[in-house]
Each structure stands twice: as structure tokens, then as C-alpha cells.
Structure 1
Amino acid sequence: MLVCMASNQQTRPAIGELAKDSATGRIGVVMGEIGGRVQLRPVRGGKEWEALPGDVLSPSAREELSTRLAMRNSDSHVPL
């Protein structure tokens, strides 16, 4: 009898994807990996920060939707 088990292991987000730094709770865009650390950039731009690879996870569906909605809303504000 062959039994298949689902893996509980998450893959780390790739370059250009949204990621959550679980150590800080911040969500950013993966920019790369240097010296054993993952570089993340805030979604609206700004200074990158580094995170340990084990702390970088895919955001939950709710976190990703909230982040994308906030980005879209801020893009729609046009000064009068």
C-alpha cells in the first residue's frame, strides 16, 4: 500500500514575489539573497532590509490581498 503525505514545508518566495519577514511581521518584495540573508524591499519602495532565510515566508492569502489592495489604493490617490 502506497500512502502519499502532503509536505508541511513551505517554499520560500522567489525574487520579485511578496514575502513576509516573520521576525518583524513586515511584508516586502524579495530582491535577492546575499551572504546567507534575504534582501526585502518595502512594497511601496524604500530602503531594503535583510532577513534570515528561515524567517522569510509566503504571506497568507489575507495578508497578500491586504497588501495588494493598499498598493492599489495608494496608486489611485491623485492630488487635486
Structure 2
Amino acid sequence: MEPEGQLVYDPRTRRVGEYRDKIGPYAMLRPVGGGREWEADPETLRPATAAERLAAQVRAVNRRTKRRV
């Protein structure tokens, strides 16, 4: 099981998410910066690379900035 809060890559959705919990057969991930959680297959998840973490964090900052404008 992944530690809560770790950033992982979901190859099905091609997204980086923050690991929240495991519910039944699914891992629950939340987008970096917040948002709606999604279900992922825990068998396919892997730790996000440094480049993937950085890209996800930049997207989150850009979304926040666009909301303010």
C-alpha cells in the first residue's frame, strides 16, 4: 500500500495524482492541487518521476492562476 499523500502516476488516465486511500479493489487518487478524486488500479500505479511531479504542480498553479483572472 502507498503512503497517503505520495504522488503516483496512473497510466490508464496518464495523470499524476496524490494517493489518498484504498477503497475495495481501487486506489483513490486526487489531482495535484485538489479536485475530484478518481479510482485507479493499484497494481498499475507507480511513483511519479521528478519530471511528472513538477509538471503536475505547474498545471495546478496554472489552474489556480486562471481562476483568479
Scaled by the length of structure 2, the TM-score of the pair is 0.75
The match for 2:11 among 12, 22, 27 is: 22
If each structure's strand is expressed as a fraction of its own residues, which one has the higher value?
2
Structure 2: runs of 5+ lacking an equivalent: none
Aligned residue pairs: how many? 68
Question: Could you say what secondary structure the match of 2:60 adopts?
Answer: helix
Kept in 2, the 8 Å contact 1:37–1:53? The answer is yes
Determine the C-alpha separation between the residues in 1 that align with 2:63 and 2:10.
22
Gap change, CA 1:47 and 1:74, over 3 Å in 2 = closer
- Equivalence map 1:1-80=2 (5 Å): 13-74=2-63, 77=65, 79=68
Question: Could you say what secondary structure the match of 2:4 adopts?
Answer: coil
What is the Cα-based RMSD across aligned positions, in Å? 2.2
Gap change, CA 1:17 and 1:70, over 3 Å in 2 = same
Scaled by the length of structure 1, the TM-score of the pair is 0.67
Larger Rg over CA atoms: 1
